[in-house]
């Protein structure tokens, strides 16, 4: 299993530009999560999907952020327009609801720098 795949691994962009982060979850997993990690705020859940449907987007900072999951094997997180305070590492994770706990498997992250 290839695990959760994220692209790009690094992104440097200028303020005001649109940024799109991509995620491919583990095959067979029905839940997908987007997180943001910074030194100041730690790990924050931005949004998560069950069966491609957004369930909770209360962590999305503002309207500049949007996420989609058009099918079970692909999701995007878009920031438009980007700002320097969006600089962070963005993680995607997936899980399969089971009889026990719902452990999540994380991708390697995308390090975003907005100048």
Partner 1 sequence: AQSVTQLDSHVSVSEGTPVLLRCNYSSSYSPSLFWYVQHPNKGLQLLLKYTSAATLVKGINGFEAEFKKSETSFHLTKPSAHMSDAAEYFCVVSPTRGYNKLIFGAGTRLAVHP
* Interaction site with partner 1 (CB under 8 A): 4, 31, 42-43, 45, 48, 50, 55-56, 91, 93, 95, 97, 100-109
Nearer to partner 1, 75 or 95 (CB): 95
Closest to 13 in 3D by CA, of 79, 65, 68, 61 = 79
Contact 92, 75 (CB under 8 A): yes
CB of 12 to partner 1, least distance (A): 16
Looking at the Cβ atoms of 81 and 108, the one nearer to partner 1 is 108
Q: Closest CB to partner 1 among 12 and 55?
A: 55
CA atoms within 13 A on the CB side of 31: 14
First to last CA, the chain: 36
């Amino acid at each position: 299993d290839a695990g959760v795949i994220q692209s790009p691994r690094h992104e440097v962009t200028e303020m005001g530009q649109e940024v799109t982060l991509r995620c491919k979850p583990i095959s067979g997993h029905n839940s997908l999560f987007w997180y943001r990690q910074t030194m100041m705020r730690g790990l924050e859940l931005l949004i998560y999907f069950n069966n491609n449907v957004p369930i909770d987007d209360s962590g999305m900072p503002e309207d500049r952020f949007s996420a989609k999951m058009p099918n079970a094997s692909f999701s995007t997180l878009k920031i438009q327009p980007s700002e320097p305070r969006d600089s962070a590492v963005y993680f995607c994770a997936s899980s399969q609801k089971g009889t026990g706990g719902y452990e999540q498997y994380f991708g390697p992250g995308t390090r975003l720098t907005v100048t």
